[in-house]
Structure 1
Amino acid sequence: MESLFVMCTRILWNTNTVATSVGRTMDWAESTEPRIYILPKGLARDGGRVGPVNVIAENPAKWTSKYGSVVVSAYGLASVDGINEVGLGMHLLFLTATDFGPRDPEKAGVHAGLWGQYLLDNASTVEEALKLHEQIQPVMVEHGGFKTSLHLAIEDATGDSAIIEYAAGELKIYHGPEHRVMTNDPPYDEQLRQLEKWNFKDATRETPLPGNVNPIDRFVRANYFLQTLREPQDERAAIATVFSIARNASVPFNAPYKRVGTIYDTEYRTVTNLNGRRYFFELTTSPNVIWVDLAKVDLSAGSDVQVLDPDNIELSGSVSQRFEKAAQPF
C-alpha cells in the first residue's frame, strides 16, 4: 500500500513587513490531476464521505463552511493546498510515519483528504484552527491502492504557524511562527534535530549545503535560504522570493528517488500572499505563473463552485475571471 501524496516542501516567509507569504511544492510520481477550485461559504460538508462512498461509519464530521476558499484538489477527492478569504492557509504533505490511532468515536471524524479543508472552512487564525482541531480526528482512507499518510501545516496573515502530525497514534502539534519549513520524513521533531547539526553563521557561497532531493536535504536548504532573505520592496518581490526557494527545494524531472527506478518530480508550486489574499500557481510543465485574487471572485453563500484546469498553456497572469462553474460540487 502506497501513500496517496508524496514528497513536498512548505516554506513560510513571515519575517518581512510587506507580505506574509507561504510556498509549497507538490512532488509525485504521476499527475495528481490538479484543479483549482473557488469554494464559496455556505457549502454543506460531510467529512465521512469520499465522493459517493461513506468511509467513516460513526460520528462523521458534518459542517457548513463559514468562509470561502481557493484550493487545489488532487484526483478530485481531496483539498491539498489553499487559502480562505480571511487569510488562513493550509498544506497537506506526505509523512510515512503517519498513524492517526484507533478511531475515537467521541471526536467527529474527518477523512484525511478533507482535514485541511475543515480548518479553512471554519477558522480565521491558527489559534482558532487549533481549538477547532481538538474536536475532530483525521481518519486514514485509501483510494486506488493509495493511503492518505499525511501531516498538515497551517499559517495565518499574522505569521503564526503550526505543524500537526500523528505518529504512533499520538498527536503532536508544533505551534509558533518559528516553524517555517516542513518537508516529509522523518517526523518534524527529528528534522529539527538534524537541522541542529548545521551551522550557517557568516555563510558564503563556500558554505556546504546538502544538495540531493531527499526530505532532510530539502528541509536544510529551505531553512538556510530563508535566513538569508532581505526585506522585499513590494508584493511582487516577496512572491518571487518565495518561488525562488520553492524552486531550489523542488525535485528536477527524472531525479532518482528512494529506490532505483523511482521518481517523484515536482508537479507544481504554489505561493500565497496571506495578507493580500492572492494565490499564485506554477505548473512545472508550463512557462507561466497564474494567480487568483480572492477579492475578485464570488465567495458569497449561494454562489457557484467554480473550477479551473491549470494545464492550459494559454493561461498566464490573473485568472480570477477564467473559472467555470463546476459540473458537480467538489
Structure 2
Amino acid sequence: MDMKTALHSLLIASTTSFALWSPAADACTRTLWNTNHLAVLAGRSMDWAESTQPRLMILPRGMARDGGKLGPATVIKDNAARWTAKYGSVVTSAYGVGAVDGMNEKGLAMHLLFLTATDYGAREPGKQGVQAGLWGQYLLDNAATVAEALEAMQRIQPVMVEYAGFKSSLHLAIEDASGDSALIQYVDGKPKIYHGRAFRVLTNDPPYEQQLAELKKWDFSQATRETPLPGNVNPVDRFIRANYFLSTLREPQSQRQAVASILSVARNASVPFNAPYKTPGSTYDTEYRTVADLSNRQYFFELASSPNVIRVDLDQIGFSAGAPARMLNPDNVELSGSVNQQFQPLAKAPF
C-alpha cells in the first residue's frame, strides 16, 4: 500500500495506524537533566522514516478513555482498561491515534521510544489491557509522580497491536518534577524497570542493560575536544554521546539557559536529514524535538523543518473537566514562543 494513501485512510478510519511502529525502525533519544539546581528538564528527539503527522494536544481532566480502542477499532476485546483522566495533560500525538510524548499538569512526563526486543508477554487476564500507543497517556492521566505511575503500572498490561506486519514495539521513559526517573521495558515477556535518578538517557536497541554495559567501556573523566566519541546515528552511538554531553552541562543561570542546554544535547543526539540508517538507502531523520520543564510546567516543541521553538505554558491552561480537547498543528513557520492561544477546540476527543 502507498504510505501516503495509508496515512490518509488512517486519519479517516484509524485502522492502519500500526505503521507508526514498524519493526524496521530504530529511533529517538530521551535525556533527563536532574542534576542542576534550577529545574528538572527532559529532552527528547523523535526520529522516523516519514512524518508522523505530529499534533500538540491539550487534554483536560475528566476525559473518558478506552485502552482497548485504536480510533474506532477495538483491538483489545477482553478486560480492556477504561478510565477517566484525573489530570490534564499536553501531549504530542502521532498519526492522530496515540500520544508518544508529553507531560501532565502535575509535572509528570512520558516518552515512548522504539525497542525491537519488546515482548509484552502472553495476555494476563488479571490485568487490564492498554494498547501500547496509549500506555504513556494512561500514566499521565492517572499519576502525578513516577512512584504513582509505577504503582499504576501494576494494574495494567501494555498490549502489542499489529496490522499488516507492523507492531507497537515500545519502551517507556517517565520522570517527574522531583527528578525521579524510571525506564520500563518488556523483554522476554516480563517487565524490567530501572527506577532512580541515575537513569537519565534512553535510546533504542539493544535492551537497556546491554547499553549500560557499553557505557562502562568509556571514561569521560578528563574529557577534551580530543576525546573520541562514537559519531554515527545508531542507538548505541547516540546513547554514548548523549550521556557524554549531558554530563558536561554547566549549572544554568536562567531557565532560558537550562532549556537551551538540554535542547543542545537533544540536537547532538539527533539524526541529520538523509543520514544512512539500518539498510542502504533507508533513513530515519529527526522529525522534532521536545523539552519538558517539569519544575516550571512548560512544554517546548521544535519541528526539525522549522526555525522556531514553541512553548505551551501548562499553568495557564484551564484543564477543567468538561472543557474541550484542543489541538495545534506545529507545522507553521509563523509560530514562535508561547502558543497557548493558538490551539483550536476539537469536536471530539482524539483518543
TM-score range, shorter chain: over 0.9
Q: Identify the match of residue 56 of structure 1 among 68, 71, 76.
A: 76
Instruction: Specify every segment of 5 or more residues in structure 2 that has no aligned partner in the other structure, as ranges.
Output: 1-18
Q: Is the 8 A contact 1:5 1:93 kept in 2?
A: no
- 1:3 maps to 2:23: yes
Cα distance in structure 2, aligned partners of 1:105 and 1:321: 44
Deviations 1:16-63 (A, max 9, x none): 111100000000000000000000000001000001111111100010
| AA aligned opposite 1:32 | T
Cα distance in structure 2, aligned partners of 1:107 and 1:17: 39
Cα distance in structure 1, aligned partners of 2:256 and 2:32: 16
Q: Identify the match of residue 114 of structure 2 among 94, 102, 106.
A: 94
Q: Identify the match of residue 152 of structure 2 among 129, 132, 138.
A: 132
| 1:203 counterpart residue number | 223
Deviations 1:242-265 (A, max 9, x none): 110000000000000010010000
Q: Identify the match of residue 43 of structure 2 among 23, 28, 39.
A: 23
Q: Per the alignment, in what secondary structure is the counterpart of residue 46 of structure 2?
A: strand
Q: Percent identity?
A: 66
- 1:221 maps to 2:241: yes
Cα distance in structure 2, aligned partners of 1:172 and 1:158: 22
Q: Identify the match of residue 154 of structure 1 among 169, 174, 178.
A: 174
| AA aligned opposite 1:51 | G
Tell me the C-alpha RMSD between the 2 structures: 1.1
Cα distance in structure 1, aligned partners of 2:98 and 2:24: 10
Cα distance in structure 1, aligned partners of 2:60 and 2:91: 11
Cα distance in structure 2, aligned partners of 1:5 and 1:32: 13
Q: Which has the higher helix share?
A: 2
Cα distance in structure 2, aligned partners of 1:106 and 1:98: 21
How far 1:5 sits from its partner (Å)?
6.5
| 1:190 counterpart residue number | 210
| 1:69 counterpart residue number | 89
Cα distance in structure 2, aligned partners of 1:171 and 1:222: 25
How far 1:237 sits from its partner (Å)?
0.4
Moved over 6 A (4+): none
How far 1:146 sits from its partner (Å)?
2.3
Query: After superposition, where does 1:1-330 map in structure 2 within 5 Å?
Result: 2-3=22-23, 6-143=26-163, 145-330=165-350
| 2:15 counterpart residue number | none
How far 1:328 sits from its partner (Å)?
2.7
Cα distance in structure 1, aligned partners of 2:316 and 2:163: 35
How far 1:143 sits from its partner (Å)?
4.6
Deviations 1:266-306 (A, max 9, x none): 00000010010000000000000001000112211111100
Cα distance in structure 1, aligned partners of 2:265 and 2:109: 18
Cα distance in structure 1, aligned partners of 2:119 and 2:182: 19
How far 1:3 sits from its partner (Å)?
3.3
TM-score when scaled to structure 2? 0.92
How far 1:162 sits from its partner (Å)?
0.2
Cα distance in structure 1, aligned partners of 2:239 and 2:104: 26
| AA aligned opposite 2:176 | D
TM-score when scaled to structure 1? 0.98
Cα distance in structure 1, aligned partners of 2:326 and 2:98: 16
